[in-house]
Structure 1
Amino acid sequence: MPDLDETDLRLLRLLQKDATLSNQALAEKTGLSTSPAWRRVRRLIEDGVIERQVALVRPRRAGLHAMAYVQVSLLDHTEDSIARFDLFVQTEDQIIECATITGTSDYQLKIVAPDPEGLEHFIMRRVLALGIIRDTVTHFVLRQTKYTTAMPI
């Protein structure tokens, strides 16, 4: 784990809000000159603190009007079943998040689709068709009251 000083944390907070800030803008906002600001950002990337920089797309603007959290329980916990499910999750674009969870389910998925019928089709024809799923519980998102990818640093 790299040591992060207050300047690193300021850079990270700024980049979490707007990853398109130029090195000059980052330097000005952190009190650094351009070269040291650039070197610090490069180090944060090389050290794996910054995993990647992406564009955040509004689902509705992209035609994705349905979102659900789906809890999944596998039939068994063999290496083969877990590997098959993990591969499935990694290759399905409609699954935008996946976490292994505690409790009565094994996984929680966040799935998007153009409409509720699209979600139902994906769950019934893709997820359950794997043949390794014992049970699913689906929670449709009615309204998102908060969404952020920024870590509280």
Structure 2
Amino acid sequence: MPDLDDADRRILRLMQQDATLSTQGLADAAGLSTSPAWRRLRRLIETGVIDRQVALVPPAKAGLHALAYVQVSLLDHTEATLARFDRFVQTEAQILECATITGTFDYQLKIVATDPEGLEHFLMRRMLSLGIIRSTVTHFVLRQTKYTTALPL
């Protein structure tokens, strides 16, 4: 991974705000000429500093009105159980995030659904039916006061 200088950080901050900027717009906002801005952006992409560029869709605009954080404790920690849970997480589109955590639980998931009943259906019929989960604790999000994907650079 390359060392990031101030110009790289400016480009990254700008791209995190709006990845649809034209090369000229990016160069102007970053205080660079077009060619160096383009070369720096290409290098950031090619070296994996910029992993991908995506569109952010507000969940409610897509009909997803329930958001919850779910803590999961597995029955055991064998390779087979961990692999099965990881495969499940990777294939379920309703799971937006999954992190292995410390403490009483093994994982924390961020899950979306159309409504609370849809979330309950997902948990009971999809996740708990795996037969490898000891317990879960669900925390419904009542209101998000901050949402960003931008890293502080």
Same fold flag (TM > 0.5): yes
CA distance in 1, matches of 2:80, 2:47: 33
Match in the other structure for 1:144? 144
**Paired residue secondary structure (1:102):** coil
Match in the other structure for 1:96? 96
**Paired residue secondary structure (1:97):** strand
**Paired residue secondary structure (2:112):** strand
Match status 1:6 vs 2:6:
yes
Q: CA deviation at 1:61?
A: 0.7
5+ residue gaps, structure 2: none
Once the two structures are superposed, the pairs formed by residues 69-148 of structure 1 within 5 Å of their partners are 69-148=69-148
TM-align CA RMSD? 0.6
Q: CA deviation at 1:141?
A: 0.4
Q: TM-score, normalised by structure 1?
A: 0.98
Q: CA deviation at 1:51?
A: 0.7
How many pairs align?
A: 153
- Supply the AA of the counterpart residue of 2:102: T
- Supply the AA of the counterpart residue of 1:132: I
- Supply the AA of the counterpart residue of 2:72: V
CA distance in 2, matches of 1:48, 1:108: 26
| Dislocated runs of 4+, deviation >6 Å | none
Q: CA deviation at 1:97?
A: 0.5
